[in-house]
Amino acid sequence: MTTPHCRVTTAWGPPGGPVPVPANGPRWAGLAQGIKPGPGSGSAQPRALLQPSRAATMVHWSAEEKQLIASVWGRVSVEECGAEALARLLIVYPWTQRFFSDFGNLSSPTAIVGNPKVRAHGKKVLTSFGEAIKNLDNLKGTYSKLSELHCDKLHVDPENFRLLGDILVVVLAAHFGKDFTPDCQAAWQKLVRVVAHALARKYH
Amino acid sequence: MTLTQAEKAAVVTIWAKVATQADAIGAESLERLFLSYPQTKTYFPHFDLSQGSAQLRGHGSKVMSAIGEAVKDIDDIRRALAKLSELHAYILRVDPVNFKLLSHCILCSVAAHYPLDFTPEVHAAWDKFLSSVSSVLTEKYR
């Protein structure tokens, strides 16, 4: 299993200064399919041989899956759900706060939940998810630029996309209760997995 | 990863509610697991995995029972789950990656049944607790 390799440039860093690149530890469940080390990272393979894996080919959505996704999405408040998902990410997995050193007070769950920057950013992230849902048949295209951004400028380990995706699913379960059936969850797990993969696709 | 006193309290409190529907929540968690992560079914070729099957309910009940034991002995989960740890290491040998998947599905079931209780703090505490349980169950693998 390969882990994504993303170089931190010295000329640009996130607000608040460069963040130390976390050490790549062992991974049990990863989404690093189709991601190979880029040139200059120590790999001897020329770029031409670095083909995307099978997982990077077109995803098929059944009519039922689309319906399950749409029926939930139609009842989601993007602002509320987005804010809650991001807040819970920062609370349940506190190390994810490393990307938000300029967000102000993140010192407690209460502070995080009430933080206006967290709310605003959560809304932004989930709005982007809405774009994915509108473009289920072209997620790669939809997320191409965002993928480059997350690698080259934001330096976000794609593992974080998986974490946020799972948090979003838990938030939906809490919001919709029994309506968020196992079938529904399965469709959404597929969606968050595929979105995470699309966001990681342009990493090098 | 050790649980703080506050986290232990959060786990114990919500467990009191979950325990009243442990069997149903256990079965639902497994159903979520098998639908979202079909590869997990490979560990149950001998089971009838259809919704509502007796085997699914029985196994869900077993899983939740074990979690209940861990909650009861939350200060020493290793002792509470010592036998199960050996069972998983030497007999069952479920790949460690699957513990995260089941933990996630249990969280979803609990969240769906008790949304008002499932605050961010409770969510964090349960995620951490299930992660602890998973660690104990896999620590003898090698």
| Helical spans, DSSP H, in chain B | 5-18, 22-36, 54-72, 77-80, 82-86, 97-113, 120-138
Q: What is the pTM of this model?
A: 0.79
Element (H, E) at B85: helix B82-86
Distance from CA of B19 to the nearest CA of A (A): 18
B113 neighbourhood in chain A, CB within 8 Å: 177
User: Smallest Cβ distance to A185: which of B108, B113, B115?
Assistant: B108
Tell me, what's the pLDDT at A102?
Answer: 95
Counting beta carbons within 10 angstroms of the beta carbon of residue A83, is it exposed (0 to 12), middle (13 to 18) or buried (19 or more)? buried
**Between A and B, how many residue pairs show a Cβ–Cβ distance under 8 A?**
67
Tell me, what's the pLDDT at A52?
Answer: 54
Show the domains of chain B with their CATH numbers. Answer: 5-138 (1.10.490.10)
How many angstroms separate the CA atoms of A136 and A65, rounded?
Answer: 11
Query: Which residue, among A119, A168, A178, A189, would best test binding to B if mutated, counting the most B CBs under 10 Å from its CB?
Result: A189
* Amino acid found at A170: V
Contact A109 B121 (CB under 8 A): yes
Distance from CA of B18 to the nearest CA of A (A): 14
Closest alpha carbon to B135 in B90, B78, B64, B93: B78
How many angstroms separate the CA atoms of A184 and B109, rounded?
Answer: 13
Tell me, what's the pLDDT at A34?
Answer: 41
Number of other CB atoms surrounding residue B125 within 10 Å: 23
Contact B32 A87 (CB under 8 A): no
Mean pLDDT of the A86-115 span: 95
Minimum CA–CA partner of B95 in chain A: A28
Number of other CB atoms surrounding residue A169 within 10 Å: 25
Scored b (16 or more CB within 10 A) or e, B75-104 reads eebeebbeebbeebbeeeebebebbbbbbb
- Averaged confidence pLDDT in chain B: 95
Distance from CA of B66 to the nearest CA of A (A): 23
Residue A57 has pLDDT above 80, yes or no: no
How many angstroms separate the CA atoms of B7 and A102, rounded?
Answer: 28
pLDDT digits (tens, 9 = 90+) for A147-201: 999 999 998 989 999 999 999 999 999 999 999 999 999 999 999 999 999 999 9
Say which residue the tokens 């040998």 belong to: B93
- How far is Cα of residue B3 from the mean position of the Cα atoms in its chain? 16
| Helical spans, DSSP H, in chain A | 63-73, 78-92, 109-114, 116-134, 139-148, 159-176, 182-200
Which residues are within 8 A (CB) of A13 and not within 5 positions of it... i.e. 6 or more apart?
A: A19
Instruction: Grade residue A140 by pLDDT with cuts at 50, 70 and 90.
Output: confident
- How far is Cα of residue B78 from the mean position of the Cα atoms in its chain? 15
> What is the interface pTM, i.e. ipTM, of the complex?
0.84
Tell me, what's the pLDDT at A49?
Answer: 55
How many angstroms separate the CA atoms of A34 and A165, rounded?
Answer: 19
pLDDT digits (tens, 9 = 90+) for B61-114: 999 999 999 999 999 999 999 999 999 999 998 989 999 999 999 999 999 999
**In A, what residues contact B, Cβ < 8 A?**
28-29, 87-88, 91-92, 109, 112-113, 166, 169-171, 173-178, 180, 182-183, 185-186, 189-190
Query: What would you measure as the largest C-alpha separation in chain B, in angstroms?
Result: 41
Contact B120 A29 (CB under 8 A): no
User: Smallest Cβ distance to B120: which of A113, A189, A190?
Assistant: A113
Instruction: Grade residue A3 by pLDDT with cuts at 50, 70 and 90.
Output: very low
Minimum CA–CA partner of A28 in chain B: B97
